[in-house]
Amino acid sequence: MINNAIYLLALIFAIAGITLGFITSSWLILPIILIAIGVVITIINLIVASKKKQTFWQKRSTEAGINALISTVAILIIVGLINSIVANKNLRFDITENQLFTLAPQSQEIIQNLEHPLKVWVFDSNIDLATITLLENYRNYGNNFQFEVVDPEIEIGLAKQFGVQSPRGVAEVYLESQDQKKLVATINKNQGQTLSEVQLTNAIAKLKRGRNPYIYFLQGHGEPELDQVEGGFTQAITELEARGYSVAPLNLATSKKIPDNADLIAIAKPLRKLLPQEVTALQNYLNDGGTLLLMLLPNNDSGLTPILDSYGIKLDNRLIIDVSNQESIINFGYGVSLITNYGDHPITKNFGNGLAFFPESRPLKIIEQENIEAVPFIISSENTWAESNLATEEITFNSQEDLPGPLNIAIALTSKSSESDSKMVIFGSGTFATDGWFQQQLNGDIFLNSVAWLTGEEEQILSIRPREQTNRRINLSPLQAGFISWMAMRIMPLLSFIIAGIIWWQRR
């Protein structure tokens, strides 16, 4: 009995030394000492036992004990080696039927071919496991891919450097490579959103193109300058630049043509008519597959009628009045339309019943045109109308002169008539995205999403189909479920006890 205890003590020392060595991956003094103590104790005990009884080595128990010791040590060494290999080499095996946890070949290729280090910054106060797993999966395919999770409430300086402004519960994901920074996605986790492989892979592909989309704001007709001015677009432009867009002014009277690198021409709040030559240049630009963003003021002629006619858009000079403001705690006045009605379009996708505010708006009318697809996506409520007489002291709806709501305030248009498809977004309000209004509820999202749709930034560069788990549920009737429950919880355990009793009775 004492010999067995000594052998057990020796085995404990040896196991402790081997385990410590493999865990720390450092075979220094302590692991070697522990193994040596175990070996020495074993040898001394064997010598003492052999002197007591010369036939010790011939005993069957001795042979069995040595074989057990050798087997135990061999198993420990094998397990330790396997753990060491797994710890140093991140080996993963996806045995799910549809490879749910494996990146698509397009994603693998783009990560493996990264020429420069790329880092993903996730600004989130409470990161979810699914996002971490996805990012670790990306990192397994390339040494140039790294990621870091940042709590914006703690790392305030770093969050400010990236321009993070999202409230708690909303995560922002950015890409950084060399001198480029690009917003990948704003994820509202309160709505169950999470970072997807499609979003991240396409953002990386766009960043690798090495060129930021160029947006030119037309100048020379009373439009606000791009610098910080009253009623200007400083907040909107700052957000565009933070998302990787290049923004510059454009005066067609001096440049005489639209730059070749223009991805979008924006005409915001013009106070005077464009020259006929400018309108012709814009028409040619659209015919060649260009994109145009119009934000027009009510009761104002910008001279863009030839372009609007070709797209089937008719401007109404009347001002939209919204009385629903007066019936709620939000009171911006009759001239501000409270928007909760959005059309079925990518610009307003997933907006639900979110709020937006459109001040000083004019209605837009659609006249069907061949090869023109027109989708209204900002629509006023039934409590609105287009007022024709603003000179009266009391503004009331006049069915003879006023236009009843709901009314179209913004329309997205796609032309299929040219060799290259052209797109245009027109807002009947030039104020909704100006400083102050831009940060109101969904106003900024509507503006930024419109730019993304026009420049094609919201489109997937790579077609990656999300993998879905195969539905293999078995629908059981109550009788079938009851039968399985009885078999598993009662009948099978009872049979096991009966068989065990019979075997015991036979062997007693």
Q: Which residue has the higher pLDDT, 223 or 483?
A: 223
Q: What is the mean pLDDT of residues 33-39?
A: 76
Assess whether pLDDT exceeds 80 at residue 96: no
**pTM above threshold 0.85:** no
Weakest mean pLDDT among 193-207, 394-408, 479-493: 479-493
State residue 22's pLDDT score.
Answer: 58
Q: Which residue has the higher pLDDT, 39 or 430?
A: 430
Range with the lowest mean pLDDT among 124-138, 262-276, 317-331, 358-372? 317-331
Asked whether 38 and 12 are in contact (CB, 8 A), the reply is: yes
| Range 25-41 average pLDDT | 71
Has residue 13 got a pLDDT over 80? no
State whether residue 343 is helix, strand or coil.
Answer: coil
* pLDDT score of 42 more than 80: no
For position 21, what pLDDT does the model report? 65
Q: What is the pLDDT of residue 58?
A: 57
pLDDT at 458: 63
Does residue 312 have a pLDDT over 90?
Answer: yes
Kind and range of the H or E run holding 172: strand 170-177
pLDDT of residue 218: 95
What integer is the mean pLDDT of 226-245? Answer: 85
User: Torsions phi, psi of 154, nearest 5?
Assistant: -105, -50
Find the angle CA(37)-CA(40)-CA(43) to the nearest 5 degrees: 150
Phi, psi of 371 (to 5 degrees): 65, 15
Tell me how far apart the alpha carbons of residues 234 and 438 are, in angstroms, rounded to a whole number.
10
Kindly indicate the confidence band of residue 320, based on its pLDDT and cuts at 50, 70 and 90: very high
Q: At what angle do helices 29-52 and 2-24 cross, to 10 degrees?
A: 160
Is pLDDT at 277 greater than 90 in this prediction? Answer: yes
> Is pLDDT of 393 > 70?
no
Distance from C-alpha of 120 to C-alpha of 183, rounded to nearest angstrom:
10
- Per-residue pLDDT band for 2 (boundaries 50, 70, 90) equals low
**% of the chain beyond a pLDDT of 90:** 32
Residue 118, pLDDT score = 92
Residue 140 has pLDDT above 90, yes or no: no
Residue 272 has pLDDT above 70, yes or no: yes
Q: Is 283 helix (H, G, I), strand (E, B) or coil?
A: helix
Burial class (CB in 10 A: 0-12, 13-18, 19+), 392: exposed
Q: Rounded CA gap, 150 and 427, in Å? A: 37
Q: List alpha helices for 243-383, DSSP H.
A: 252-255, 276-287, 305-311
User: What pLDDT is stored for residue 284 in this prediction?
Assistant: 92
What's the pLDDT score for residue 108? Answer: 86
Element holding 506 (H helix, E strand): helix 492-507
CB atoms within 10 A of CB 272: 13
Per the prediction, the chain carries an average pLDDT of: 81
Residue 123's pLDDT is 92
CA gap 146, 131 in Å, rounded? 14
Handedness of CA 297, 303, 305, 308 (dihedral sign): negative
For residue 460, give every residue at least 6 positions away whose Cβ sits within 8 Å of its Cβ, in sequence order, or none. Answer: 198, 202
Q: Of all residues in the chain, what percent carry a pLDDT higher than 70?
A: 77
- Residue 91's pLDDT is what? 57
What is the per-residue pLDDT for 145?
Answer: 93
- At 150-185, the pLDDT tens digits run 998 899 888 888 888 777 788 899 999 887 788 888
Model confidence band, residue 90 (pLDDT cutoffs 50, 70, 90): low
Residue 223's CB is within 10 A of a number of other CB atoms, namely: 22
Query: What confidence tier does 383 reach under pLDDT thresholds 50, 70, 90?
Result: confident
Query: Mind giving me the DSSP string for 204-217?
Result: HHHHHT--PPEEEE
pLDDT digits (tens, 9 = 90+) for 48-67: 666 655 455 556 666 666 66
Does the pLDDT of residue 24 top 80, yes or no? no
Give pLDDT, residue 125.
86
* Whether 132 contacts 149, CB under 8 Å: yes
Is the pLDDT at 26 greater than 70? The verdict is: no
Is the separation of the CB atoms in 432 and 446 below 8 Å? yes
Q: How confident is the model at residue 299 (pLDDT cuts 50, 70, 90)?
A: confident
